[in-house]
Amino acid sequence: MREKSKNRGMILFCMIFLVAGIVLAGMAVIIYFNNSSFKSRAVKIPATIERIDSYTTTRKSNRGTRTKTNHNVYVSYEFNGTPYNNIHLRSYTSSMYEGKAITILCDPHNPTDVDVEGMIYFPVILLAVMGVIFGTIGFVTTMILVKKKNKKKKLITNGKVIYAVVDDVARNLSFAVNGVNPYRIRCSYTDGMRTYEFVSENMWDNPEEDFPVGSSIRVYVDSKDYGSYYVDGYNRVSDYT
């Protein structure tokens, strides 16, 4: 088994979240400058909501089906003596209803480009928050992986080698990537009157063929603290001999 292939799920997980965070943050910056430019040249004018078209979208995921209601708002107004009817408004709020009189921002260079002042930066805030969340998840997860890698390298280089007995090989139901749960090896080592229990890192291929229950498995431990350890679930004991 190759250790690199076992971590491909976590690497892909980190990359997806990091890239998504960067893309969302970039979109937030672009929209911010576009909307700021629009606001600086727009003028306030009265308008009337002519109609609101509602429709639903459905999205399926591992958690089930989610249904969302969306709204398209159309307004009528007059600008520089020219009437405009059924013009799509950029934003929608729950307080809107057909026939309601509202104040809108209108681009004098493009009178059909209109929005509500209070909602002009809402997409920016939403995208920025999502970007921070996705980016933080990706960054923190990457840091955790790097820390674990360094710890593992240190234990392999300077740690004490012991040979534990495999007690169980099972899926880790508390963690999943794309709906798939990884495997973990549980093993134990008895030193005199004391028994130490160890758990391997998450493994994406079933290691049971190489490490059946009762077999021997190599564990690197800190000689001063057996709580700091690394279970080598990628190389059979026979591979070292």
| Per-residue model confidence (pLDDT) at position 2 | 47
Q: Are residues 111 and 191 in the same domain?
A: no
* Alpha carbon distance, N-terminus to C-terminus of the chain: 17
Assigned domain for 28 exists? yes
Between 71 and 239, whose confidence is greater?
71
| Per-residue model confidence (pLDDT) at position 179 | 83
C-alpha span between 156 and 230 (Å, rounded): 8
In the chain, the percentage of residues whose pLDDT exceeds 70 is 93
Q: Are residues 124 and 166 in the same domain?
A: no
* pLDDT tens for each residue of 109-127: 999 999 998 888 888 999 9
| Per-residue model confidence (pLDDT) at position 157 | 92
Q: Within a 10 A sphere around the Cβ of 124, how many other Cβ atoms?
A: 19
Q: Are residues 108 and 18 in the same domain?
A: yes
* pLDDT tens for each residue of 173-188: 998 877 889 999 999 9
Assigned domain for 213 exists? yes
Averaged over 86-97, what is the pLDDT? 92
Assigned domain for 73 exists? yes
Nearest by Cα to 234 from 158, 173, 152: 152
Assigned domain for 148 exists? no
Averaged over 137-153, what is the pLDDT? 87
| Per-residue model confidence (pLDDT) at position 1 | 45
Q: How confident is the model at residue 211 (pLDDT cuts 50, 70, 90)?
A: very high
* pLDDT tens for each residue of 151-208: 989 999 999 999 999 999 999 999 887 788 999 999 999 988 899 999 998 888 899 9
| Per-residue model confidence (pLDDT) at position 239 | 59
Q: Are residues 8 and 88 in the same domain?
A: yes
Q: Are residues 176 and 77 in the same domain?
A: no
- The boundaries of the domain holding residue 222 are 159-240
Q: Are residues 167 and 115 in the same domain?
A: no
Residue listed under structure tokens 């820390």: 147
Number of domains in the chain: 2
Averaged over 77-103, what is the pLDDT? 93
The one-letter amino acid code at 16 reads I
Joined together, the tokens standing for residue 44 give 């306030």
Q: Are residues 164 and 121 in the same domain?
A: no
Assigned domain for 153 exists? no
What's the mean pLDDT when you consider all of the chain? 88
Q: Are residues 65 and 120 in the same domain?
A: yes
Averaged over 105-110, what is the pLDDT? 93
Assigned domain for 12 exists? yes
* pLDDT tens for each residue of 29-61: 999 999 899 999 999 999 999 999 999 988 876
Q: Are the CB atoms for 175 and 129 separated by under 8 Å?
A: no
Averaged over 78-89, what is the pLDDT? 94
Residue 210 has pLDDT above 70, yes or no: yes
Q: Are residues 75 and 180 in the same domain?
A: no
**DSSP character string of the chain:** --HHHHTHHHHHHHHHHHHHHHHHHHHHHHHHHHHHHHHHH-EEEEEEEEEEEEEEEEEEETTEEEEEEEEEEEEEEEETTEEEEEEEES---TT--TT-EEEEEEETTEEEEEE-GGGTTHHHHHHHHHHHHHHHHHHHHHHHHHHHHHHHHHHHHHSEEEEEEEEEEEE-TT--BTTBPPEEEEEEEEETTEEEEEEPPPBSS--TTTS-TT-EEEEEEETTEEEEEEE--SS-GGGG-
Q: Are strands 110-115 and 183-191 parallel, antiparallel or unpaired?
A: unpaired
* pLDDT tens for each residue of 220-236: 999 899 999 999 988 87
Assigned domain for 144 exists? no
Q: Are residues 107 and 165 in the same domain?
A: no
Q: Are residues 56 and 175 in the same domain?
A: no
In the chain, the percentage of residues whose pLDDT exceeds 90 is 60
Between 106 and 2, whose confidence is greater?
106
Averaged over 129-144, what is the pLDDT? 90
Assigned domain for 52 exists? yes
